[in-house]
């Protein structure tokens, strides 16, 4: 179902690792909706090679960039404008990684070098993307920039570990930078808080299978899929949402405002 919602728009999409990636689905949907864009990921992720298939399918070029490196980001943003033939209308930041999570280090026993790495990759990188785009005057007016987040920024989910703190920081950056980008350039900045989704990053969290089932039962509409998330991102990149900025937008089938569901209560009667 394509409606030309992004016809003539130019973008940069971070974080498509494989077909499961939320960014992958966003790229496919953005292409269907008429956008042209550059795909980017960390040089190490490029080695997996799958992004080449996505590039072919969507007629996109790939520019490797470590999102923690301002130098890489400057190169990415300026080359993207050259390739796409003008300023940028939308950016998706779909990046997350915690070394403490990866290595099974408990939240009360963090390795702080790993914590700092996770903060840099998962949150500060968003500030770096925003700052680079602003300094290079790379965004068109009414452009839209999104990052993906999770409700562990507001509520405790024990196995989410230090990613909870990273997401809280990420969401705060969207608000703070959104103010300046709005006033100076009419660019909107938001985060989308997505349901748990079976991807490489998601399944790295301990007990993820059980958790995704719990979340399904706790959401009146069920968990939102990666494709549904992509659809939401497309609307946020379109001109139909021009006055939405500095928001954390829940895309979670109603999970965030549900205290308990009958399905979960019934489990305790068993």
Ligand X SMILES: NC(=O)c1ccc[n+]([C@@H]2O[C@H](COP(=O)([O-])OP(=O)(O)OC[C@H]3O[C@@H](n4cnc5c(N)ncnc54)[C@H](O)[C@@H]3O)[C@@H](O)[C@H]2O)c1
Q: Are 65 and 16 in contact (CB under 8 A)?
A: no
Taking the complex as a whole, the smallest distance from the CB of residue 9 to ligand X amounts, in Å, to 21
- Find the angle CA(74)-CA(15)-CA(30) to the nearest 5 degrees: 95
Task: Report the residue number whose CB is nearest to ligand X.
Answer: 202
Q: In angstroms, rounded to a whole number, what is the distance separating the alpha carbons of residues 22 and 17?
A: 9
Q: Residue 148 burial by CB count (10 A; 0-12/13-18/19+): exposed, middle or buried?
A: buried
DSSP H or E stretch at residue 143: strand 139-149
Stretch of residues binding ligand X (CB under 6 A), selected from 9-17, 73-81, 100-108, 129-137: 9-17
Binding residue for ligand X (CB under 6 A) from 28, 32, 50, 68? 68
**Binding of ligand X by 196 (CB under 6 A):** yes
Q: Give 56's contacts (C-beta < 8 A, 6+ positions apart).
A: none
Which residue reads 């390739």 in tokens?
83
The distance from CA 188 to its chain's CA centroid, rounded to whole angstroms, is 15
Query: Treating both helix axes as pointing N-terminal to C-terminal, what angle do 163-185 and 112-119 enclose, rounded to 10 degrees?
Result: 30
Site string for ligand X, 79-98 (x = CB under 6 A): ---------------xxxx-
Binding of ligand X by 201 (CB under 6 A): yes
Q: Least Å distance between CB 184 and ligand X?
A: 26
Member of 33, 66, 171, 231 binding ligand X (CB under 6 A): 66
Contact residue for ligand X among 26, 45, 174, 218 (CB under 6 A): 45
Contact stretch for ligand X (CB under 6 A) within 63-71, 74-82, 128-136, 261-269? 63-71
Provide the 10 A C-beta neighbour count for residue 179: 13
- Is 121 a residue that touches ligand X (CB under 6 A)? yes
199 forms part of the interface with ligand X (CB under 6 A):
yes
Sites of contact with ligand X (CB under 6 A): 14-15, 17, 20-23, 41-42, 45, 66-68, 94-97, 121, 148-150, 194, 196-197, 199-202
């Amino acid at each position: 179902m394509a409606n030309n919602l992004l016809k003539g728009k130019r973008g940069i999409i971070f974080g498509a690792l494989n077909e499961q990636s939320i960014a992958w689905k966003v790229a496919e949907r953005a292409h269907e909706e008429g956008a042209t864009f550059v795909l980017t990921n960390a040089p190490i992720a490029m080695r997996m090679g799958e992004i080449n298939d996505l590039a072919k399918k969507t007629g996109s070029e790939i520019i490797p960039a470590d999102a923690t490196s301002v130098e890489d980001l400057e190169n990415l943003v300026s080359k993207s404008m050259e390739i796409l033939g003008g300023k940028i209308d939308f950016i998706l930041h779909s990046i997350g990684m915690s070394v403490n999570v990866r290595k099974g280090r408990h939240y009360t026993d963090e390795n702080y070098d790993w914590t700092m790495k996770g903060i840099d990759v998962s949150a500060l990188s968003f500030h770096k993307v925003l700052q680079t785009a602003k300094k290079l005057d790379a965004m068109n007016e009414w452009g839209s920039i999104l990052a993906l987040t999770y409700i562990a920024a507001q509520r405790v989910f024990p196995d989410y570990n230090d990613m909870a703190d990273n997401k809280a920081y990420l969401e705060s950056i969207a608000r703070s930078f959104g103010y300046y980008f709005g006033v100076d350039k009419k660019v909107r900045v938001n985060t989308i808080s997505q349901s748990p989704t079976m991807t490489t990053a998601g399944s790295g969290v301990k007990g993820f299978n059980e958790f995704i089932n719990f979340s399904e039962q706790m959401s009146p509409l069920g968990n939102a899929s990666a494709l549904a998330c992509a659809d939401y991102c497309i609307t946020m990149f379109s001109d139909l949402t021009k006055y939405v900025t500095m928001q954390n937008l829940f895309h979670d089938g109603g999970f965030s405002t549900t205290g308990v569901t009958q399905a979960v209560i019934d489990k305790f009667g068993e």
